[in-house]
Amino acid sequence: MLVRHFCEEFGKKYKLDVKTKPRALVRLYQECEKLKKLMSANSSDLPLNIECFMNDIDVSGKLNRVQFEEMCADVLGRVEAPLHNLMEQASEYQLKKEDIYAVEIVGGASRIPSVKERIGRFFGKELSTTLNADEAVARGCALQCAILSPAFKVREFSITDAVAYPISLKWNSAAEEGLSDCEVFPKNHAAPFSKVLTFYRREPFSLEAYYNTPKELPYPDPTIGQFVIQKVVPQASGESSKVKVKVRVNIHGIFSVSSASLVEVQKTEEGEEPMDTEQQATPEEEGNMQTDQDETKAQGDGQKETEEEEEKTPPENEEMETSPEESKAEKKSDQPPQAKKPKVKTKVLELPVENSPQWQLAIDMLNLFVENEGNMIMQDKLEKERNDAKNYVEEYVYDMRDKLHGRLEKFVSEADRDILSLQLEDTENWLYEDGEDQPKQQYIDKLAELKKLGQPIQERYMESEERPRAFDDMGKQIQMYMKVVEAYKTKEEQYDHLDQEEINKVDKMVNEAMIWLNSKMNQQSKLSLTVEPAVRVRAIQDKTKELYSSCNPIVTKPKPKVELPKENKAGEQNGPVNGQEKAPAEGTEKGTGDSTGNPPSTESTEPRPDMDLD
């Protein structure tokens, strides 16, 4: 409305036809959007100014909130119609305006004062704005996704989705000529939900699902699809078969005929089955299982799914079956004998359902689109790799240029710096000209070409940073082993168990390592930082490890253990060992006198009549 208003105003005022210039029209839309937001906060006249709008002409205009509301009266008047419709639907559930606790408004346009005023006036209460009006829907969608996803744990919320438009089925009636229809899911019915419909048919039949309020739909065709129930046959007696059709609205609000089954009635003479006597006192559940064996084999997992759905009527076999308890009651009664009644069994057979949704793509088209999507994903992946390779080149150019005049300055000669700087500049120019859109391999080759000059400089810097620490670690190792050799020569008790030959070996290796270390340090001190080092950090670390692996097992060899003389206490506690049979007897004979230092009593020295002493 604002764009239309200013197009007319600028046409009269500046003789400009704005609608013929898409660029100018887009700028006008952007400025009108800003003006609309400003009018929500200010009721005074607000200016609209655009420089060089068309033909180098600057345009300007002004508007206030009152003029805006008068201009948009028809559009703003549409706000109340959905509210009336909402309360009409709520009246079916005995919900009144007084029962509403709060009215929360969301959406950017709900900030317009006129919209707020109309909604508040309709409900008769102050509106709630606790949510971010622009982000509320997106946040709600994210929360609902987290609730449905098994990968996230969120607080439980009770959310009942509803069927937005009423869904009906129609079919060719067998009893009456013509079409019959039935509303299966009324408007605002809970979803997801399943229902079981029962039909009596002798032959295959089709169901057509459709939305029965086409005027409310956002698209013209209300048809959902055709569903053909196949392989329907009459009963053995020629009567119509009972067909159970399960229809479902899933969690996405999509309608489908999920399954169909035929209930086959089988009659058998009572005498053909073994009589249930008192020896077979099975509960009713076992009787049901007995008759359900054939049924379970026939229907498999499909019957389990049907039993899980909400079906108020009990299964057919439970209605018509006689339980063992009832049979016993009949036997005990003194009624006169009657003719044998046929016993009824039911068998449930799964029927194939042919689905032909109106808006669903054919399988070959669906596969084609899936294949195209896979190709696009692969193309996106290759494009990302190409862009990454280009970004690596650009990043290296900027990074290396700064470092050449920074921390790497001491490690590169002036001539090499000039050559590399010139190559970096040429690469940068190439990136923004011919190299704007090149294959991935071109960028990889360019980066390798730059690194051929830049990598040795960075390596010299890293070597210079890490070399002093490596020399220091090796020197500490050498000093430690030299102290051990000196301690052995002064015959310290800690190392007197070591072998002379092994100590001589340690001494020799330490001296060789010392000579090598001093030699390399002297060589390196004479070299400039702009040339390759005399020794690399890796070589120093390898030499240190070699010294450690050769000397450490020798100097850390533990002292041999000294075996202490065995005591006889263990033998005294556990009984006689190694022929010491007399010790326990003597200890017993002596009694407590020996342990206390007192002379033994006369009773203990006399031989006992019931003991043989050697």
The CATH number of whichever domain residue 249 belongs to comes to 2.60.34.10
Domain identity same for 439 and 500: no
Q: What is the mean pLDDT of the chain?
A: 81
Nearest residue to 474 (alpha-carbon basis) of 543, 400, 372: 543
- Beta-bridge partner residues of 181: 170
What are the pLDDT digits (tens) for 476-509? 999 999 999 998 888 888 888 888 888 899 999 9
- Between CA 474 and CA 539 the distance in angstroms is 11
**Residue 581 — pLDDT band, cuts 50, 70, 90?**
very low
- Residues 470 and 447 occupy one common structural domain: no
Determine how many CB atoms are found less than 10 A away from the CB of residue 477: 20
Same domain? For 418 and 504 the reply is no
- Residue 596: pLDDT over 50: no
CA angle 430-433-438, nearest 5°? 75
Same domain, residue pair 435 and 530: no
| Residues 9-20 pLDDT 10s | 999 999 999 999
Cα–Cα distance between 386 and 341 in angstroms, integer?
83
pLDDT band at 22 (very low <50, low <70, confident <90, very high): very high
Residue 128, domain member (yes or no):
no
Token reading at 417: 């710096």
Sheet architecture: strand order including 255-268: 193-201, 241-249, 255-268, 343-351
Task: Summarize pLDDT for 430-469 with one digit per residue, the tens.
Answer: 998 888 889 999 999 999 999 998 999 999 999 999 999 9
Phi, psi of 584 (to 5 degrees): -60, -40
User: Looking at the structure, do residues 486 and 551 belong to the same domain, yes or no?
Assistant: yes
Strand positions, DSSP E, 250-364: 255-268, 343-351, 353-357
d(CA 228, CA 212): 20
Query: Residue 32 and residue 14: Cα distance in Å, rounded?
Result: 18
User: What are the C-alpha distances in Å from 440 to residues 368, 398, 453?
Assistant: 29, 20, 21
Same domain for 474 and 535? yes
**Pair 179, 242 in one domain:** yes
Which residue among 420, 454, 488 closes a domain? 454
Q: How crowded is residue 343: how many other Cβ atoms within 10 Å of its Cβ? A: 18
Q: Are residues 441 and 481 in the same domain?
A: no
Q: Is the peptide bond before 204 cis (omega within 30 degrees of 0)?
A: no
Contact 234, 202 (CB under 8 A): yes
User: Which of helix, strand or coil describes residue 19?
Assistant: helix
Going by C-alpha positions, the residue among 64, 79, 73, 67 that lies closest to residue 109 is 79
**What is the tens place of the pLDDT at every residue in 222-250?**
999 999 999 999 988 888 899 999 999 99
> Is 600 inside any structural domain?
no
Tokens standing for 403?
């470092």
Question: Is the residue at 405 inside a domain?
Answer: yes
Are residues 412 and 441 located together in one domain of the fold?
yes
Of 430, 454, 478, which marks where a domain is finished? 454
Range of the domain at 429: 365-454
3-state secondary structure of 300: coil
Which of 419, 435, 454 is the endpoint of a domain? 454
Q: Write the CATH number for 478.
A: 1.20.1270
pLDDT of 344-389, one tens digit each?
Answer: 788 889 999 988 888 777 788 989 999 999 999 999 999 999 999 9
H or E element in which residue 183 lies: strand 179-185
What's the structural domain count of the chain? 4
The reply to whether 122 falls in a domain is: no
Q: Which residues of 249-259 are buried (b: 16+ CB within 10 A; e: fewer)?
A: beeeeebbbbb
Q: Does residue 34 sit within a domain?
A: yes
Cross-strand pairs, 195? 247
Burial class of 351 by CB neighbour count within 10 A (0 to 12, 13 to 18, 19+): buried
User: How many angstroms separate the CA atoms of 182 and 169, rounded?
Assistant: 5
Q: Are 221 and 256 within one domain?
A: yes
Helix or strand run (H / E) with residue 318: helix 316-320
Q: Are residues 395 and 468 in the same domain?
A: no
Same domain, 437 and 472: no
**Would 551 be classed as within a structural domain?**
yes
Residue 300 reports pLDDT greater than 50: no
Q: Contact at 8 Å (CB) between 67 and 46?
A: no
* Residue 127 near residue 119, CB atoms below 8 Å: yes
CA pair distance 330, 111, nearest whole angstrom: 78
CA distance 58 to 311: 73
In a domain, 390, yes or no: yes
CA–CA gap between residue 110 and residue 134 (Å, rounded):
10
CATH number of the domain that 59 lies in? 3.90.640.10
Summarised one tens digit per residue, pLDDT across range 39-80 is: 999 989 999 999 999 888 999 999 999 999 999 999 999 999
DSSP single-letter state for residue 313: S
Whether 381 is covered by a domain: the verdict is yes
